[in-house]
């Protein structure tokens, strides 16, 4: 592990309470894996789209943008998915830590993405490609946009465009 940001216990409890009271499906990321508090239409859809199944577990993890946005990193990755992490956490910071460790300058980094949670990474990387089916924010942040076509093959088209 190169870098880790965590929520405080009080932040996690507040998020969990808000998510539970709001009827949200709770999914949490932890150094030990990804956990879903219950099986729901949304957790099944998320698992299918992500290509993996979260483990079941009790979470103290979810929130709303207006309520917690100033204290934590909050991004809506899809209409039904809200990601919340410790303040100062995003994909760009993770990639920066890896690049720094390997001695790679940002202009030599190629990044691919399709969501709101990819915006900082796409803006930071020397060359970035957003998927044509992706969120508008990702397409605006990227230097290139993949050729149109099926979302299932968007990454392959994006790599071909870079090469």
Our count of domains for the chain comes to 2
Q: For the chain, how are helix, strand and coil distributed in percent, rounded to 5?
A: 40, 20, 35
Residue 2 falls inside a structural domain: no
At 141-152, the pLDDT tens digits run: 999 999 999 999
What pLDDT is attached to residue 63?
37
- Choose among 57, 69, 6: nearest CA to 27: 57
d(CA 46, CA 93): 24
What pLDDT is attached to residue 107?
97
Residue 128 falls inside a structural domain: yes
Tell me if residue 91 falls in helix, strand or coil: helix
What pLDDT is attached to residue 17?
85
Q: List Cα–Cα distances, 70 to 11, 63, 105, 150, in angstroms.
A: 12, 12, 30, 37
Are residues 96 and 131 both part of a single domain? yes
- Choose among 34, 89, 23: nearest CA to 57: 34
Query: Among residues 86, 102, 133, which one ends one of the domains?
Result: 86
At 94-115, the pLDDT tens digits run: 999 999 999 999 999 999 999 9
Mean pLDDT of the residues in the chain: 83
At 5-35, the pLDDT tens digits run: 777 778 888 888 888 888 887 777 776 677 7
At 50-94, the pLDDT tens digits run: 787 777 666 554 334 445 556 777 777 766 677 777 777 889 999
- Choose among 30, 60, 63, 36: nearest CA to 48: 36
Are residues 30 and 75 both part of a single domain? yes
Domain carrying residue 146: 91-162
Are residues 74 and 28 both part of a single domain? yes
Residue 3 falls inside a structural domain: no
Burial of 27 (0-12, 13-18, 19+ CB in 10 A): buried
d(CA 83, CA 89): 11
What pLDDT is attached to residue 138?
96
Are residues 106 and 135 both part of a single domain? yes
CATH no. for residue 63? 3.30.1240.10
């Amino acid at each position: 592990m190169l870098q880790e940001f965590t929520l405080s216990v009080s932040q996690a409890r507040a998020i969990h309470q808000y998510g539970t009271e709001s009827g949200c499906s709770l999914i949490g990321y932890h150094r030990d894996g990804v956990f879903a508090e219950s099986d729901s239409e949304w957790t099944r859809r998320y698992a299918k789209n992500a290509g993996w199944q979260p483990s079941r577990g009790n979470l103290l993890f979810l929130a709303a943008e207006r309520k917690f946005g100033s204290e934590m990193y909050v991004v809506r990755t899809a209409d039904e998915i809200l990601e919340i992490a410790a303040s100062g956490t995003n994909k760009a910071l993770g990639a920066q830590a890896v690049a720094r460790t390997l001695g790679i300058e940002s202009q030599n980094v190629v990044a691919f993405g399709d969501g709101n949670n990819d915006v900082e990474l796409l803006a930071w990387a020397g060359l970035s490609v957003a998927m044509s089916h992706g969120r508008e924010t990702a397409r605006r942040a990227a230097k290139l946009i993949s050729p149109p076509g099926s979302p299932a093959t968007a990454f392959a088209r994006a790599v071909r465009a870079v090469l």
